[in-house]
Structure 1
């Protein structure tokens, strides 16, 4: 058995091909075969679409699998490679992190050939798939315990030209929110590695909470808009309807916009995503669970903001994030 990752088919083959990206066995598990779809229509943009980076965010794998079904009928040029379940062990366990080594795939790029299974997956993608693409769409969701509008997310990039190209690509999805997110933990992230190679990377955060038909239709529409913007398919991009509105906002969120719980308890949201709140506006309430006499604790907005994401009603620990605020991105 090979000790290096390999593809079971040739990505340069014209037309539609399917096969697997084989991640070699290690001390922790046997070899893993990740299903891969490729549609090569010659010259043009080269796109890699991935889902299932986090295994409990299933909107990505579903929309990626839908793309496999309809893309062959509409793609006009270029090459699209689709990996619906990038972190297969995590998807099977419905877990953000791998159940085998406990690692977060989105924190170990570019990976290690001699590492644990999550590092070997990142290494295989970095070596064999990423060189074949100029643009990456990584399909996430905000996770099952959050309410979040369908969004396209990128992080600040030092390269001004690449930052501008990435924002334009993100805005082309025409999802309700395009978000420039000052994230505190970008080391080893898939997008950080892709950006370091001068390539455009768009992270689609396909909402949160539960997977439902209406939401999936919005996500699929946004992905189609992205393909239209790249010139891979013909058509006119349209803003999908979200909560009876057709609009797309470009926002930024800073580290100071992360609101955290000051105590253990049950968090009750008192706002909805995309609400505009004034300074001091009520975001939610923490109810202590160990005493009925203890007062509830208000979580309030430190500045006038737009609610970007809010935790669902759930028990939270001290210093656990309960909301993200944002504001319009300045040119």
Structure 2
């Protein structure tokens, strides 16, 4: 008989409890044990916080561990389940995908009990943790090679009531940017599964994958703001300082005009910063071809008036790779 995923402790036990979510072994590797922390203070919101879905985004696991240090004293009600690392093999390899099977965990939900390792992780989370929560914070960062402001993100949701609740929750982080991110549908995303079950799912994204003290402080402050908004801890929310300012804006992307791609191979030199407002024709950056002695740099210019929400940070790019991403103020 195939072993089923299981928890080694009772999530309903009052107070702070610690244990593991056991992902059964398969033909590709042995069983995995994911550390899980449950902070149960009775009636109230039921929150699941996860990190380490992508192994090259390390801010989430660090912030999740930080939360566990102070939440037991600060939490006033409800239950918070924290899983600092959803995908240990990917985190250990600092790889976006799971080294064992090459799959992206955030593209295989709800998973398969008889699947490969990544699919078994998704199956265990979908079966045992997701049903215990009505709100999910899945902690990410934008990944290496990009400059990206601290942001809380979501996607367009067909249900207007759930969309409204999700957007309000995303804005409660008070990060410099809240982003409603429209992109071609990707099957198997964690947020899509949760939203199809009527749950509020917010994905905080922080920076370009470089772990630094200032960035981590902003990330933790934003999560604390969201916990205050949920009523799980007491306190006054504050706007984190970013680029020497305390401000926030809510933006949305448009699929047809939200990305500039490299027209040739070369090194991209950014000429603007994240959250800059640009007008049509403004210089965004210069692409420097490196395979020719005579080739001039290629100017990359804004296609329309918009706000730069992400830009390549001095990367070598191939033809067709993205170099800048744009958004616009959300129209409500």
Question: TM (normalized to structure 2)?
Answer: 0.98
Distance in 2 of aligned mates of 1:189 and 1:322: 24
Assess, with a 3 A threshold, how the Cα gap between structure 1 residues 33 and 110 changes in structure 2: closer, same or farther: same
- Counterpart for residue 129 of structure 2: 129
Match runs of 1:171-320 below 5 Å:
171-255=171-255, 256-320=257-321
Q: Which moved more, 1:221-230 or 1:254-263?
A: 254-263
8 Å contact 2:57–2:209 — kept in the other structure? Answer: no
Secondary structure (helix, strand or coil) at the match of 1:90 reads: helix
Secondary structure of the corresponding residue to residue 243 of structure 1: coil
| Contact 1:45–1:230 (Cα < 8 Å) also in 2 | yes
For residues 191 and 231 of structure 1, the distance between their equivalents in structure 2, rounded to whole angstroms, comes to 22
Q: Kindly state the Cα deviation for residue 297 of structure 1 after the two structures are TM-superposed.
A: 1.5
Structure 2 regions of 5+ residues with no counterpart?
none
Alpha-carbon deviation of 1:111?
0.6
Per-residue CA deviations over 1:50-109 (Å, capped at 9, x if unaligned) read 000110000000000000111001000000000000111100000111111000001111
2:267 and 2:134 mapped to 1: Cα distance?
45
Looking at structure 2, the residues matched to 196 and 37 of structure 1 have their Cα atoms a distance apart, in angstroms, of 26
1:127 alignment partner, SS class: helix
Q: Segments of 4+ in structure 1 off by > 3 A?
A: none
Q: CA deviation at 1:254?
A: 1.7
- 3-state SS in 1 of match to 2:310: strand
- Counterpart secondary structure, 1:140: coil
Instruction: Check the 8 A contact 2:6/2:23 in 1, yes or no.
Output: yes
Shift of 1:158: 0.4
Instruction: State the distance in 1 between where 2:152 and 2:281 align.
Output: 28
Aligned length: 331
Distance 2:81 2:292 in 1: 54
Q: Secondary structure at the match of 2:205?
A: strand
8 Å Cα contact 1:186-1:192 kept in structure 2: no
Greater displacement, 184-193 / 125-134: 184-193
Aligned residue number for residue 322 of structure 1: 323
Note if contact 2:136-2:201 (Cα within 8 Å) is conserved in structure 1. Answer: yes
Contact 2:58 2:209 in 1 (8 A): no
Q: RMSD between aligned alpha carbons? A: 1.0
* Structure 1 residue runs without a partner (length 5+): none
Query: d(CA) in 2 for partners of 1:58 and 1:71?
Result: 20
User: Once the 2 structures are TM-superposed, how far is the Cα of residue 207 of structure 1 from its aligned partner?
Assistant: 1.6
Q: Distance in 2 between matches of 1:163 and 1:75?
A: 27
Q: Deviations over 1:15-70 (max 9, x none)?
A: 11001001000111100110000000000000000000110000000000000111
User: Relative to 1, partners in 2 of residues 1:274 and 1:13: Cα closer, same or farther, differing over 3 Å?
Assistant: same
Distance (whole Å) between structure 2 residues aligned to residue 303 and residue 119 of structure 1: 41
Q: Secondary structure at the match of 1:121?
A: helix
Q: Give 1:2 deviation, angstroms.
A: 6.1
Deviation at 1:209, TM superposition (A): 4.3
2: CA distance, partners of 1:296 / 1:168: 43
